Amino acid sequence: MHQHNWKMKKYLVTVLMTVILFKTGFGQEILTTSLKKGLYKNFEEFVSNNPSIPFDEKNLEFEEDQEELIDGITPKLFVVYGREIKLPVFRIVDKGTNKRIKTKSTWGYCDGTKVFINSYTHIPKHYFVELLLIGRYCYFIQVGYTSIYQPYNKVITPFNAVKTVEEYVINLNNGKIFNLDKSLLKIILNDDQELLHKMNNDLGVDRYLLIDYIKAYNERHPDEIKARH
């Protein structure tokens, strides 16, 4: 019975979001229609579900980049929806030469089922990671680096750098990307005191990723999504 009620609640939230977007003008098509395959030049193409660059499957391949793969570097850190995951990192390569294609001028890629954001949108790296959540705040995990000598020396060099994970959110209303930590999450949850109180009393929030709170906020506040005309 509990599972049935949860599914019904989720369905009603989805219907409500669709109605709100329809009444206020052209909504973000990325939320309401089937995903289209291709490369996005910019954030606007992502929001409108309109990748303008076709993906040349004959000559190109979207593949996992083993050099950047993060898997188990911090045990039990990668927890999404209650399950441990690895962080696959992807690149686009030329099938003929097996060399990476430069993608700094693209915002992201869609394979028709999932959306991947190009890391060059916010850090100077040539790879893609999956958007794990698409909603009022889109969510993804990114490769990061930190100094092994923190907090005394935060200068990162090839000799002291260790891989970490960083959480990011994309504001669907303006395309801005923010590094997600507890301080930012508190700002986001400030107008939902119930969720904020729950997060402040969650002893596990320091050990787990923050996606569950972002997901809950998205479901509870679909009216915050601004329609685009």
Phi, psi of 62 (to 5 degrees): -100, 110
Does residue 119 register a pLDDT over 70?
Answer: yes
Q: Strand 128-130 vs strand 137-147: parallel, antiparallel, or unpaired? A: unpaired
Name the residue with higher pLDDT: 155 or 198. Answer: 198
Query: d(Cα 181, Cα 185) in Å, to the nearest integer?
Result: 6
- How much is the pLDDT for 21? 40
Residue 170 forms beta bridges with which residues?
138, 177
> 86 is written with which tokens?
């690895």
Q: Which residues contact 187 (CB under 8 A, 6 or more apart)?
A: none
Assign residue 26 a region (left: φ > 0; alpha: ψ between -120 and 50; beta: otherwise): beta
Is the torsion defined by CA of 81, 185, 164, 176 positive or negative?
A: positive
**pLDDT tens for residues 67-106?**
554 544 443 445 555 555 567 789 999 999 999 999 999 9
Q: For residue 158, is the peptide bond before it cis, meaning its omega torsion is within 30 degrees of 0?
A: no
Decide: helix, strand or coil at residue 177.
strand
> 107 is written with which tokens?
């915002």
The count of residues in the chain is 229
Does residue 13 register a pLDDT over 50?
Answer: no
Decide: helix, strand or coil at residue 145.
strand
**Average pLDDT along the chain:** 79
Does residue 173 register a pLDDT over 90?
Answer: yes
Decide: helix, strand or coil at residue 117.
strand
- How much is the pLDDT for 203? 81
Residue type (1 letter), 200: N
* Residue from 103, 101, 89 nearest 59 by CA: 101
Of 9-18, 49-58, 79-88, 143-152, which has the strongest mean pLDDT?
49-58
**For residues 123-144, average pLDDT:** 89
Residue with the two structure tokens 């930012």 = 184
**For residues 186-214, average pLDDT:** 88
**pLDDT tens for residues 160-170?**
666 677 889 99
**For residues 112-125, average pLDDT:** 93
Does residue 62 register a pLDDT over 70?
Answer: yes
